[in-house]
């Protein structure tokens, strides 16, 4: 696939934060702060998060889902999926924009609580929550816990009983729908680790209700990620509504949680439908499904992560070396940067694609085909498989990667003893560190075998 833009310096507004533009010197500016200024102050590589973009996306998605739910006579609760990127600041932005926070480990729970998120706004899911994590979540008073397996019914019930609480719970179900980007696959069973088979949802819902210490909210599913339209959500909702309706015979089922997974544009080739259109499509499917079954539409719940924080992030790197490598029919320019799979594992992990642009200036030569590589000892350490940069790109130039706000910092490692970069939030011309980076010193301090040090 070739990228649509012929101009290797253009910032496609579908891919870059709304605030992104070039200043008089040609440098990329995000949140009112230029890339060279950011790197001069905070170093390279650098994760940059546009606070206004993250907040605006949270607001727009929450509003779209709430409006679509209201149009079918119900309401929508929106939780930010913290696994995409969770820090104290980010958690507070989301709460201020009217979202709850979805966490899936004790560590994420600890961040949300330490950030001051009201426990009632927190949802806790995960396929292997430890007993200690469940006890901690119950004791903290988290709003909801997603029961992911038969075994967990007892575990959560016992923890709630011991704490003298009634814990609100959802039951995670495999709808048999797995969706990504343009298509969804619908099967009788889904062969994956999360949730219980749809065929057991009613039986296990009844089991949950038998516990006085549990308050059954409804069914939960999450069908995939980077989904561009409503089709997979609609199919999944339709499937879940059968079990939902059957459970209504034995009591209230106030909610249906359809998870997250709304897609974003990493390159100009990605064309996710507007969230308003997706929300309306999901709501229509729920309304139709409820009418057919003669039931009232339940409250809807959603857990978007990537669609909120992904496009708000930009990673800045410094170019070290450039090599022209002959390939069939031309030349590929390998542009190596001072980070790589340690700060962005997604290309190596699942072939993710990104957009790269010169960030410290504009080019003076015609665009060339580039592959942006990291500095790690791994041939698969590729940051951008293919894009165009001006042919004069060279050592010392800054480059920026778009849409790195989700699943980059949160998946970062110290591979090759490379320190993880800090995360800097930008807004209104101001920049501040919201998560500190590692230093060589902080990495060495963990090594108990370094004599005279620890
Ligand atoms: C990963 C996950 C999400 C968020 O997915 P995004 O693609 O980031 O929107 C939401 N809910 C559950 C249960 C998840 O596992």
Following DSSP, what letter does each residue of 123-176 receive, concatenated? EE--TT--HHHHHHHHHHT-SEEEE-SHHHHHHHHHHHHHHT--EEEEEEEE-S
Q: Alpha helix locations (H) across 381-423?
A: none
Contact of 337 with 399, CB cutoff 8 Å = yes
* Centroid of ligand 1 to alpha carbon of 333 (angstroms): 36
State the closest ligand 1 atom to the C-alpha of 172, by its place in the atom list counted from 1. 13
Distances (CA, A) of 225 to 255, 306, 419: 22, 8, 29
CA distance 279 to 230: 7
Buried b / exposed e along 52-70 (16+ C-beta atoms within 10 A):
bbbbbbbebbbbbbbebbe
Partnered with residue 402 across adjacent β-strands are 314
CA distance 264 to 60: 14
As for ligand 1, residues whose beta carbon falls within 6 Å of it are 81, 83-84, 102, 125, 222, 225, 259-262, 303-307, 406
pLDDT of residue 188: 74
User: And the tokens for 199?
Assistant: 């065929």
State the closest ligand 1 atom to the C-alpha of 303, by its place in the atom list counted from 1. 10
Sequence-ordered list of residues with C-beta below 8 angstroms from that of 151, at least 6 positions apart, any chain: none
Pairing of strands 398-402, 313-327: antiparallel
Binding residues for substrate: 306, 346, 350, 378, 407
Pairing of strands 330-337, 313-327: antiparallel
pLDDT of residue 3: 41
Q: Scanning the structure block, which residue is given the tokens 């292997």?
A: 128
Domains and CATH numbers, the chain: 3-50+311-446 (2.40.37.10), 74-304 (3.20.20.10)
Average pLDDT across each block of 10 residues of the chain; the chain has 454 residues. List them in order.
Answer: 60 98 98 98 98 98 98 98 98 98 98 98 97 98 98 98 98 93 82 93 98 98 96 96 97 98 97 98 98 98 98 98 94 97 96 97 95 97 97 98 98 98 98 97 94 65
CA distance 407 to 387: 21
Query: For atom 10 of ligand 1, which residue has the closest CA?
Result: 260
Question: In terms of pTM, does the model score above 0.75?
Answer: yes
Binding residues for pyridoxal 5'-phosphate: 261, 303-306, 407
User: And the tokens for 137?
Assistant: 């979540």
State the closest ligand 1 atom to the C-alpha of 306, by its place in the atom list counted from 1. 8
Pairing of strands 100-103, 122-124: parallel
Catalytic residue flag (residue 377): yes
The 8-class DSSP code of residue 262 comes to B
User: And the tokens for 228?
Assistant: 């561009």
C-alpha of 109 from chain center: 16
pLDDT of residue 405: 98
* Centroid of ligand 1 to alpha carbon of 341 (angstroms): 22
Considering the candidates 221, 290, 377, 408, report the single residue annotated as catalytic. 377
User: What is the phi/psi pair of residue 315, to 5°?
Assistant: -105, 130
User: What is the C-alpha end-to-end distance of the chain, expressed in Å?
Assistant: 51
């Amino acid at each position: 696939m070739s990228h649509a833009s012929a101009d290797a310096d253009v910032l496609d507004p579908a891919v870059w934060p709304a605030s992104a533009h070039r200043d008089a010197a040609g440098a990329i500016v995000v949140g009112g702060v230029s890339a060279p200024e950011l790197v001069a102050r905070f170093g390279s590589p650098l994760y940059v998060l546009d606070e206004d973009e993250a907040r605006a996306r949270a607001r727009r998605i929450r509003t779209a889902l709430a409006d679509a739910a209201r149009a079918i006579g119900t309401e929508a609760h929106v939780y930010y999926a913290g696994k995409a990127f969770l820090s104290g600041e980010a958690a507070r932005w989301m709460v201020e924009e009217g979202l709850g926070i979805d966490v899936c480990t004790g560590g994420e729970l600890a961040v949300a609580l330490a950030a001051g998120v009201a426990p009632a706004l927190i949802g806790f899911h995960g396929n292997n929550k430890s007993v200690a994590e469940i006890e901690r979540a119950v004791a903290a008073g988290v709003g909801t816990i997603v029961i992911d397996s038969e075994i967990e019914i007892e575990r959560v019930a016992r923890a709630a009983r011991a704490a003298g609480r009634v814990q609100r719970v959802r039951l995670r179900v495999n709808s048999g729908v797995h969706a990504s980007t343009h298509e969804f696959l619908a099967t009788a069973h889904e062969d994956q680790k999360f949730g219980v088979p749809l065929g057991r949802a009613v039986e296990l819902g009844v089991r949950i209700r038998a516990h006085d210490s549990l308050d059954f909210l409804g069914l939960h599913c999450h069908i995939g990620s980077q989904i561009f339209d409503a089709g997979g959500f609609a199919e999944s909702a339709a499937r879940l509504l059968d079990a939902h309706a059957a459970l209504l015979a034995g009591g209230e089922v106030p909610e249906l949680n359809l998870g997250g997974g709304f897609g974003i544009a990493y390159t100009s080739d990605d064309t996710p439908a507007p969230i308003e259109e997706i929300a309306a499509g999901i709501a229509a499917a729920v309304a139709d499904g409820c009418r057919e079954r003669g039931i009232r539409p339940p409250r809807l719940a959603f857990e978007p992560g990537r669609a909120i924080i992904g496009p708000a992030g930009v990673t800045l790197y410094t170019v070290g070396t450039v090599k022209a490598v002959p390939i069939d029919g031309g030349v590929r320019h390998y542009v190596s940067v001072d980070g790589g799979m340690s700060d962005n594992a997604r290309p190596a992990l699942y072939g993710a694609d990104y957009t790269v642009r010169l960030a410290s200036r504009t080019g003076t030569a015609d665009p060339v085909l580039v592959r942006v590589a990291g500095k790690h000892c791994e041939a698969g350490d590729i940051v951008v498989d293919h894009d165009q940069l001006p042919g004069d790109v060279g050592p010392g130039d800054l480059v920026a990667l778009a849409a790195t706000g989700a699943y980059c910092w949160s998946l970062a490692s110290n591979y090759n003893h490379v320190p993880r970069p800090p995360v800097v939030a930008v807004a209104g011309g101001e920049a501040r560190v919201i998560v500190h980076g590692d230093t060589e010193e902080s990495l060495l301090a963990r090594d108990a075998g370094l004599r005279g040090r620890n």
